[in-house]
Amino acid sequence: MNRNTTPRRPESEPPPKLATRLLAHLLPEEDRAAVLGDFEELWGRDERHPPGLRRLKFWAHVAGVGFGFSWYRLVRLLTSGRRRGSPSPSPSSPILRGSDRGSLMTAWIQDTRIAIRTLRKQPLFTATVVLTLALGIGATTSVFSTADALLFRPLPFPEPDELLYVPLVVPAYGGRSELEVEWSYPKVRLLMESTNVFEGSTTYQAGSRILTGADDPEEVRVESVGSGYFDLLGVEMVVGRAFQPEEDLTGERPFVAILSHDLWIRRYGGDLEVLGRTIRLDGQAHSIVGVARAGFPGLSGSADLWVPVMTQGASLLNNPDNHAHELFVRLRDGVSLTQAQNQLRAFPRLLAEAYPPANPSLPILGIRARPLRELRSDPSTRQAVLFLLGAVGAVLVIACSNLANLLLVRARRRRTEMAVRAALGAGRSRILRQLMTESLLLAAVGGALGTAFAAVWTPLLRITGLRTQEVFRQMDVGLTALGFSEVALDGRVLLFSAGLCLVVAVVFGLTPAFNASRTDLACGLKGGPRGGRWRRRIRLRGRSLVVTCQVALALALLTCSGLLLGSLTSLVRSDVGIRSENVLTARISLPQARYDSEGAKTFWAELLERVSTLPGIRSSGVNYCPPLSDRCTGTFIWFPDRPAPPDGIRPMPEFHMVAGDYFGTLGIPLQQGRLLGPEDREGMPLAVVVGESAANAFWPGESPLGKVITLQRAGLGDATVVGVVGDVSYGSIEAGPRPAIYASRNQVPSRTGYLALKGVRGRSSSSLLPALRAVLAELDAKLPLTDVRSMSERLADATSPTRFTAIVLSLFAGAGLTLSIMGLFGVLALMAGERMHEFGMRRVLGAGQRDLVGLILKHSGRMIGFGLALGASLSWVSTRLLENLLFGLRPHDPRAMLGAAALLSLSALLASLLPALRAAKVDPLVAVQQD
């Protein structure tokens, strides 16, 4: 050793150990030391790079060199065999004799080489097996990657089990079920002062603001959070810092903000100089102090940036009745959930003393602590994902059993080959190993191809999932969106996929391999049928049983997909209460800083007036929320002419603030009285129009016209009902319409609104957009137009979760049907082949062609019959699991199962006919001569 050369600096980081070890394994012995040395030398050169980049580069080079050498060796291995000029191994070679010469590695390489050669000689068989496996494994892998990210994997935060979601609880009373509600900031403070089981806490409230700067104005999703938010969740900053505790106090200016990685890249091009730059949110200046790590969309699942909660202003923040903040806490080390829950038990009383409820008859608020992981996926997503996982598993089982049958048949055909090998001295284990190598190789190639398929499908699943979440944005789906954003083919998923390949190879390869390795020399060499009649029967029974199970699984899959397709049809056909043709909708949100309520009133009136003069527009109107958005607000109402309800519960209908010709634009019919018009302006008595459901619910059996209701909404007071309109579903199609009250924006101003424009017939709604943008820019160039979608798109989006599940499940069911029919066909063809001799004898003894067809169809009928019976019970169980995903159909709707059974029987009959007709055409003489 030369010790005089420059010593390595002690603080210098060594190259990644795992990568080095991996590289050492992949390199050939003769190059190992030299290449590893070169890698270490080059690692030393990269010292100035950031550590993460340096390691990434090292790994990339390891992967490249490892792959290069493996590929080179594989090619050499394959071509060297060919060069020696023997297309198949000669009987005298050690490969056939299974000699123990050479290491296990050499034997394995030999096995692989033979397997590759054998499989290449049967391209059709190999392609069938590999494709079947690739589809099965690909589909399973991508569904698993989704399930893993949404349900199985720990949440992507450090020590996720210590994180709790703590809501306030309104107990069940007066027929209303229990409700979890948000906190007001003073109540959060009271909780944190009175407990010591939490290490940290943070609140968050999601909303949207208008971001202005050098670029176009843009509506961004903002989370107003407590300063502990990022520390609590362990989310690092790429640049800059997280919020500091003093930024949690009110009144401090200038305000600060943290960008999401997405926004940083999208709007600022990933500029490192972004720190300290000032942006305006709703006109207020904020200075950027940090950028959060990539892939963190906030607890709401869609945050573009974060601001400290104090930007809301002291009056809102210090109002104990402003229940608007979600609360998350982290348990102190060593404190269990139960201990925390015990300590929280005293809190409701404390809370009631500090902030007594306005009405003494109301129950006092409770508190609850739930592990954050319970919120990670909303129940319907969880159910759909689990269901798809089960369905894809069923398809995989069907595919594997088909492959097992296929390999069994192939093993039978290779009896002679195996007998020759055995005769030349190959032990049973050697033959078994050879056959297993073939299965493993098939599984590996199929798995690799399947993973490639999954690499294409998985991003599609992620995008569809995120889109679905986007449409149904609710408080408790934030983590689901977070989960969907984490869907990827990572190490865990690849490990799952590799394990799956191994299991599949063993399952479909072992039985045929055992069968074939039990060589019977005399029979095998003679090439005749092996085993006695009873043994053949057992084999056939076994295969028939496999087909029966396949038919059962296929029936269950078809029934479920039939049900989902049925509910999709009912969803699409259901009446939302509007006419969506040619209607464009878009959201406009006026910043509080520049628009007071008077300004908002003028803005909407002017906007509608200018829009109505545009060519191609038939009518226009504004509402607070569009149909099927689930973004509406409500208000408590009571009836001044009736006594107060004994339990103190007041109804809370939806409350819509409309302007212009809203009802006409969306085709909502007037049923009684009049619509809201220009006469309903400030200074006049407040007039409201109610929906049909509200009319029926609040004034059953009488006309609501002229009735007076009191609205709890600040400062509104009494209102007179002047009209009744048709019902509209503002939530989801499934939930249907709710009681609704409409008031004019002239009397109840609002800064947020969805503009609805109806184009003249024959003009697509999207063609109205440029003109609308121009009008908006004239009025206020700093206002963005967001959530621009035609009403028809909104309708389509509302059915997208069901459509997605239905389509994916139908694909699986189609695959299951095809595969099980292929299995049935294979078994029948095999049976007909094996019984050719018997059929010949029967013909000789006087049986007609029709009798033989009947014989095969009977056999097929028995398999299908048992399969359908088994499948019916399986469907009964599995459709129950679908219950919550269905709309307008019961889980045990007989039409679905009958339709599925009919489809399956018909396809099975067609598949049985070909082998049956072939058997019937058997020439008795030839068949008998075979003996």
Partner 1 sequence: MGRGSIGQFEQLVLLAILRLGSEAYGVAILDEIGRTTGWRARRSAVYVALRRLEDKGLVSSRMGRPRPERGGRARKYFSVEAAGRALLRESREALLCMWKGIESELGES
Q: Which residues bind partner 1 (CB under 8 A)?
A: 1-3, 5-8, 14, 28, 31, 33-38, 40-42, 44, 61, 64-65, 67-69, 71-72, 76
SS3 275: coil
CB of 21: closest distance to partner 1 in angstroms?
13
CA–CA dist 286, 277 (Å, integer): 8
Instruction: State the Cα–Cα distance between residues 842 and 846, nearest whole angstrom.
Output: 6
CB of 23 to partner 1, least distance (A): 11
Taking the complex as a whole, the smallest distance from the CB of residue 896 to partner 1 amounts, in Å, to 55
Write down the least CB distance from residue 38 to partner 1, Å. Answer: 4
Q: Is 881 strand, coil or helix?
A: helix
Nearer to partner 1, 6 or 177 (CB): 6
Q: What are phi and psi of 173, to 5 degrees?
A: -155, 150
Min dist. Cβ of residue 2 to partner 1 (A): 6
SS3 state at 124: helix
Sheet holding 366-367, edge to edge: 179-181, 168-170, 366-367
Q: Which is nearer to partner 1, 7 or 706 (CB)?
A: 7
Residue 12 vs 90, nearer CB to partner 1? 12
- The secondary structure element, H or E, covering residue 512 is helix 491-517
8 A C-beta contact, residue 194 and residue 401: no
Rounded least distance, CB 28 to partner 1, Å: 7
DSSP 293: P
Closest CB 80 distance from partner 1, rounded Å:
11
* Residue keyed to tokens 């109804």: 651
Nearer to partner 1, 12 or 613 (CB): 12
Token pair 């020439």: residue: 923
Burial of 325 (0-12, 13-18, 19+ CB in 10 A): buried
Read off the DSSP letter of residue 183. Answer: B
Alpha-carbon distances of 670 from 577, 674, 723, rounded to whole Å:
12, 7, 7
Centroid of chain to Cα 767: 33
What tokens were used for 703?
């006309």
Query: For residues 42 and 774, which CB has a smaller minimum distance to partner 1 in the complex?
Result: 42
User: In angstroms, rounded to a whole number, what is the distance separating the alpha carbons of residues 128 and 120?
Assistant: 12
Which residues are paired to 205 by β-bridges?
224
Chain-centroid distance of CA 305 in Å reads 24
Write the DSSP assignment of 595-622 as a string of letters.
--HHHHHHHHHHHHHHHHTSTTEEEEEE
Cβ at position 47, least distance to partner 1 in Å: 11
Nearer of residues 58 and 812 to partner 1, judged by Cβ: 58
The CA-based angle 850-851-854, given to 5 degrees, is 85
Q: Which of these, 482, 502, 483, lies nearest to 494 by C-alpha position?
A: 502
CB of 261 to partner 1, least distance (A): 29
Q: Which residue number, 36 or 192, has a Cβ lying nearer to partner 1?
A: 36
φ, ψ (nearest 5 deg) of residue 906: -65, -45
How distant, in Å, are the alpha carbons of 38, 75, 79, 80, 442 from that of 72? 20, 5, 11, 12, 21
Residue closer to partner 1 by CB (options 7, 360) is 7
Cβ–Cβ < 8 Å for 882, 904? no
Helices of type H across 635-680:
662-666
Q: How far is the CB of 22 from partner 1 (least distance, A)?
A: 14
Nearer to partner 1, 62 or 388 (CB): 62
Residue placing its CB nearer to partner 1 in the complex, 6 or 315: 6
CB 3 → partner 1: shortest distance, Å? 8
Comparison of 80 and 873: residue with beta carbon closer to partner 1: 80
Min dist CB 27 to partner 1, Å, is 8
- Shorter beta-carbon distance to partner 1: residue 18 or 521: 18
